[in-house]
A and B are shown apart, each in its own frame.
Chain A
Amino acid sequence: MTREKANDLIERYLYKAGEELPAKQRDDVKAELRSLLLDALEDRAAEAGRLVDEELAVEVLRDFGKPEQVAERYRPPGQYLIGPRLFPVYIGVAKIVLIVLAGIFVVSVGIGALASPWRFPELFRPASVWDVIESFTGLAFVNLAILTIVFALIERFADTRPESGKVDWDPQKLPAVPVKADPERISPGDRIFKIYAIVALFLWVNQFPDTLGIWVFFGDQTRVIRFTEMGMQLPVVLLNIFWGLALALNMWVLRMGRWTKESRWAEFGLGLYGAAILYLVLVSSAFTGPEASELAGGAWWQWPVEMLRVARADLPRLGRILHAVLTFILGISLIEAVVRLVRILRRYPVW
């Protein structure tokens, strides 16, 4: 029961509140809150006729309210589809989505241009350029709409807002200020991006099965080389279960704010399930055609160009390439599963 303990409690309180404050005003508000808490603490000690101690600090902090509530009050008031707490994350994820989409389009247009028999002037006719811009804008809008819906649902159901009104809470249960960064702490943006990707993939596979494949732009034509045309079987039910579980896991971790032993094990199990689905796809699909290396006389950087030439003439031949890509992804998934298992066992020893 010393001043040091009281100060430690206040620092833990400020750390917790700081996590919830907008980055721009975090340090300034924390500095002001520190001076206000110390003023209140000293005043209370003087009134009680004793020295500052942990018990008085607990009383002062209880009066101030939970750190999450205090931080919430420093945010602008109002009703939101996406609240101020999630909005910066939303903007960050939207930027990533647009950059990734733009990247995919640049690569697709590039491949289309390389494979096209047309020369430079024809490729950049206004009609061709307009077609690409139109496709990109459409896809960008659809993706932003899905992203907005995902964020609005998280805002509504993930309960990221602290309780309102006076809440009974115990300041002594505040976590210690970490000396170094917590490796299990999550980045909300990262989790939300994953949630968005899961929802987008779910909708894509279930609502637009005809567009599942490799999108390629040939000048003013857009061509989708469907995975099914390449002999691939998609176990949609198993995939939907996978996405449902992945969505639940990400929402849970987002809500907890950090990984726990249980969620790490769940992630590991889900990874194995995903790898099993991939294996099933590989063994159940009738991939046909020559080896990828045969297509372009061995030079791997010529494969995309060759793929398109083949795509025009003989679509099922692409199966071999798809098979190789899926096998590679399966290998990566299994390595990732082993890495996850080692990490879990090192962080949370079972014996």
Chain B
Amino acid sequence: MTGPAYLEHLDGLALELRRGAVVLAVLSQLGEEQYGYSLKKLIAASGLEIDEGTLYPLLRRLESQKLLTSRWRVEDGRPRRYYKISAQGEKTLRALAAEWREISNSIARLLR
């Protein structure tokens, strides 16, 4: 496989690899209330770019799983939906973070 087809395939694999990590990144940054765009910038500042099309629906999904709570707030004359991690979300974050460290260590050993 070469050329654009290969790049597309690689993109798909990379996307799969990042999918789980994105949930962890989002949960980790919602100790304080954030709205979608501010959260995207906050995560991007640490070097992880998340596509809008992935991040915003994910927030909704995590909320429906009771891992986040949300409310509408008007700021600078504009209504925005703010998200914050829930108690259940914090518990999940601790478990996922431990899992992540374990995977990360194992992969590091495998790649050595």
Q: B20 on the interface (CB 8 Å rule)? A: no
Is B79's CB under 8 angstroms from A31's CB? yes
Give bound CA distance, A29 to B35, whole Å: 13
* Contact bitstring B70-111, A, C-beta under 8 A = 1, else 0: 001000001111000000000000000000000000000000
Q: Which of B38, B57, B60, B61 has the most CB of A within 10 A?
A: B57
Give bound CA distance, A313 to B48, whole Å: 84
* Contact bitstring B47-74, A, C-beta under 8 A = 1, else 0: 0000011101100110000000000100
Q: In the assembled complex, which residues on chain A have CB atoms less than 8 Å from the CB atom of B57?
A: 73-74
* Contact bitstring B23-58, A, C-beta under 8 A = 1, else 0: 000000000000111100100000000001110110
Partner of B80, one of A35, A43, A70, A73: A35
Partner of B36, one of A36, A43, A65: A36
Q: In the assembled complex, which residues on chain B have CB atoms less than 8 Å from the CB atom of A39?
A: 35-38, 78, 80
Nearest CB of chain B from residue A142's CB, rounded to whole Å: 37
Is B60's CB under 8 angstroms from A35's CB? no
Is A73's CB under 8 angstroms from B53's CB? yes
Q: A234 on the interface (CB 8 Å rule)? A: no
| CB within 8 Å for A32 and B81 given contacts A69-B53, A74-B60 | yes
Q: In the assembled complex, which residues on chain B have CB atoms less than 8 Å from the CB atom of A76?
A: 61
Q: In the assembled complex, which residues on chain B have CB atoms less than 8 Å from the CB atom of A348?
A: none
Size of B's binding interface in residues, CB under 8 A: 19
Partner of B37, one of A29, A31, A43, A165: A43
Nearest CB of chain A from residue B37's CB, rounded to whole Å: 4
Q: A40 on the interface (CB 8 Å rule)? A: yes
Interface size class of A (residues with CB under 8 A): 20 to 34
Give bound CA distance, A63 to B40, whole Å: 14
Partner of B8, one of A25, A31, A63, A165: A165
Residue of B nearest to A60 (CB): B52
| CB within 8 Å for A36 and B52 given contacts A29-B60, A73-B57 | yes
Give bound CA distance, A40 to B72, whole Å: 18
Nearest CB of chain B from residue A6's CB, rounded to whole Å: 15
Give bound CA distance, A39 to B8, whole Å: 30
Q: In the assembled complex, which residues on chain B have CB atoms less than 8 Å from the CB atom of A124?
A: none
Is B52's CB under 8 angstroms from A63's CB? yes
Q: In the assembled complex, which residues on chain B have CB atoms less than 8 Å from the CB atom of A29?
A: 60
Residue of A nearest to B15 (CB): A165
Q: Which residues of B contact A (CB under 8 A)?
A: 8, 11, 35-38, 41, 52-54, 56-57, 60-61, 72, 78-81
In the A-B complex, the 9 residue pairs with the closest CB atoms: A39-B37, A73-B57, A32-B81, A65-B53, A35-B80, A74-B57, A36-B36, A64-B52, A36-B37
Q: Which residues of A contact B (CB under 8 A)?
A: 25, 29, 31-33, 35-36, 38-40, 43, 63-65, 69-70, 73-74, 76, 165
Q: List 12 A-B contacts (CB under 8 A).
A: A32-B36, A32-B80, A35-B35, A35-B36, A35-B79, A35-B80, A36-B52, A39-B36, A63-B52, A65-B52, A73-B54, A74-B57
Contacts A35-B36, A73-B53 known; list 20 others, CB within 8 Å.
A31-B72, A32-B56, A32-B81, A35-B37, A35-B79, A38-B78, A39-B37, A39-B38, A40-B37, A40-B52, A43-B37, A43-B41, A63-B52, A65-B52, A65-B53, A70-B53, A73-B54, A73-B57, A74-B60, A76-B61
